Structure 1
Amino acid sequence: MYLLAVDGGGSKTLARLQHTISGQQWQAAGGPAQLSNDLELAVATVRQLSLQLCQQADISLAQVMACIGLAGAGNPQLYRAFCQQLQLDFAAWQLTTDARTSLYGANNGEPVVMVALGTGSVAMRLSADGTEQQTGGWGFNIGDEGGGAWLGKLAVRQLLWQLDSDQGVSSPLTQALAAQCGNDIQTVLPWLKQAGASDFAALVPLVFAHQHCPLAQQLLHQHAIAIAELICCCRGERSLPVVLLGGLAASSQPLLSPEINRLLQPARGDALDGGMILAAQQLAKFSGVAGPNKNSGGSGA
């Protein structure tokens, strides 16, 4: 039997196939597979990578237990639509979120609080009794505090305040932002009209690059507070280690308080490792169950 893990996000998708006996692995990469951005593209990407890896290993889909972790899989409508459209005859498979596969990879399937900091933000907890709980991850419009899009939006808001003020654009950070977004209403409004979460997140390197600027320091302090709140809300009073993952993890960690840093440990794995753990659990669950293309109904939350 073979295990397949897929990790799909807004910019790229990675997949890994592994033989359970020999441990031999095959890997492939493809384009985006974020359900909320483009469901049809996500289906096509996962299908193409799955078939590609099976072809490389010279096996059939019926020999594969798959765990597919995709951004946007927490949406029930998108979850159902993907399951209906994938149409791959795996021995068994489950669709879940990329946050959940990251959770299982973060501490090699052992109890942990995982905090993912990228364009968005989300925390998940795996407790000693096996229960899982997600905190945050509500999306850019209303949440994702501590994520890149949220921080970029705070920075642009400061640019707008300075554009409205008598002093004008006066700080080093807002001057850098103005060069990207516009320095008056005629240029800023068109930028705002087309800007999405990734556009706001793309401004975050400017905030970190201007840490000598008092305004940037203020924003980064808010950023650190938001991350600490996310960690504390998810962890509660439980004695669990915390792992930071995502593109902003390394740059954000030095901003956190000594108390929060004492809770942190390095990641023991990534989302693909977590997907492999979940696929192996599925194999144990479905051992002896006949019939191809059995969807386990894995969590989309």
Structure 2
Amino acid sequence: MKEAIVLAIDGGGTGCRAALCNRVGQLLAYAQGDSCNYHSIGVERATENLLVLLTTLVKKQALHMNCVVLGLAGLDTKKDEAVLTLMVDQALAAANITADSVYLCNDAMLTLKGSVGQNNGVLLAAGTGSIACGFTKEGLETRVGGWGYRVGDEGSGYSIGKAAIAHVLKSYDGREKYSDISAAILKQLALSDEDALINWVYSSHFSVTQVAALTPIIVNLAETGDCQAQQIIQCACQELEIMVLTVIRKLGLLNAEFSLVLSGGVLKNQLVHRQLIQHLASTCPGLQLIDLNYQPICAILRHGLIMMGYDNNTLLNQLSRQLTTLINRPES
């Protein structure tokens, strides 16, 4: 472990991953654990989960790192930054890890920075939630969305599932024309009828993740010609397009060359991907598309190496191959 100079942490909403690498991009250790998003599980439990992740990674050895870089879901406001900085400092100290520098950033922005290096870049992420962010090579940064399912997450899996459930209830009322969405959703959620659906929505069993998981059903129905499903997907694409174009315009990249990184399960659906890219490509002639086909922890590691002055064009692929091998290696 003495060769390790960068410790990277990808603190997503549902789980965390951590990795160590040396200056040439050799992956030295990898660990994964439970969520450290304090918004969903509280500060105390989030700190405990982060500490468990770190001790698993370093195997309880005392380590000094050149750089610790963390991409954290839920880092959205100045209050979040203060809370998470204290949380990270406590976990690092308890794990006997010291560092010359510790860098915290929103997970989406850090994934983008590690993906495109020091060029102009924009990221659109649409999974359970949604966010768009970007930066220029001159150092200007901005973000749009990412405000959570209560007031935001437009175009996300959750928003698609929520719109589908709303349609089921409106068609039950007679306010909208009945479609195949109703039977498909009731079957997916193992519910007998619309009364059971509304009871589930307002019960302790309701889950944002389960609502988001309805997205593939709506996409499949849209692809087979269901008009209501097509309308739901079209609205989601329009919301995502507004988000990413807002970032592009705020950064002054509308007529400039930039890399667009797409991330999240919603954007892996070909129907959504196709509709979105067709519109964006006609509006932004300098757009260069990058599909995120590596784990975000690799991009975070790369950004840590960039901060230390080490980078090359093969780092992401190199780290991704090593990580795949490490994850798939049988336990001895």
Alignment-mate amino acid for residue 172 of structure 1:
D
User: Which structure 2 residue ranges, 5 or more long, are not aligned?
Assistant: 310-332
Q: Report the equivalent of 1:244.
A: 262
Distance in 2 (alpha carbons) for counterparts of 1:21 and 1:180 = 47
Query: Greater CA deviation, 79-88 or 123-132?
Result: 79-88
Could you list the per-position Cα deviations for residues 241-282 of structure 1 after superposition, in whole angstroms to 9, with x for gaps in the alignment?
A: 312111222212123252424635124655223322443355
Please give the residue correspondences for 1:77-226 in structure 2 after superposition, counting only pairs within 5 Å.
77-86=79-88, 87=90, 88-89=92-93, 90-91=98-99, 92-165=101-174, 170-180=178-188, 182=191, 184=193, 186-194=195-203, 195-211=206-222, 212=224, 213-226=226-239
Could you list the per-position Cα deviations for residues 78-98 of structure 1 after superposition, in whole angstroms to 9, with x for gaps in the alignment?
A: 432332234214213122211
Could you list the per-position Cα deviations for residues 9-44 of structure 1 after superposition, in whole angstroms to 9, with x for gaps in the alignment?
A: 222211110122573431111122222111333322
Choose which of 294, 301, 308 in structure 2 pairs with 1:276: 301
Normalising by structure 2, we get a TM-score of 0.76
Could you list the per-position Cα deviations for residues 16-74 of structure 1 after superposition, in whole angstroms to 9, with x for gaps in the alignment?
A: 10122573431111122222111333322222222222238xx5332352111111122
Normalising by structure 1, we get a TM-score of 0.83
Q: Report the equivalent of 2:276.
A: 256
Choose which of 65, 68, 76 in structure 2 pairs with 1:66: 68
Alignment-mate amino acid for residue 290 of structure 2:
P
Tell me: CA distance 1:166–1:130, structure 2 relative to 1, closer, same or farther (3 Å): closer
Structure 1 residue 167: Cα displacement: 8.5
**Number of aligned residues:** 281
Q: What is the root-mean-square deviation in Å for CA atoms of aligned residues?
A: 2.5
Choose which of 7, 28, 33 in structure 2 pairs with 1:30: 33
User: Which structure 1 residue ranges, 5 or more long, are not aligned?
Assistant: 285-301
Query: Greater CA deviation, 266-275 or 130-139?
Result: 266-275
Distance in 1 (alpha carbons) for counterparts of 2:175 and 2:140 = 54
Query: Greater CA deviation, 180-189 or 214-223?
Result: 180-189
Distance in 1 (alpha carbons) for counterparts of 2:69 and 2:176 = 55
Distance in 1 (alpha carbons) for counterparts of 2:248 and 2:45 = 35
**Highest relative contact order (Cα 8 Å, sep 6+), 1 or 2?**
1
Q: Report the equivalent of 1:49.
A: 53
Contact kept in structure 2, 1:35 and 1:71, CA below 8 Å: no
Distance in 2 (alpha carbons) for counterparts of 1:174 and 1:153 = 13
**Identity of counterpart residues, as a percentage?**
24
Contact kept in structure 1, 2:259 and 2:289, CA below 8 Å: yes
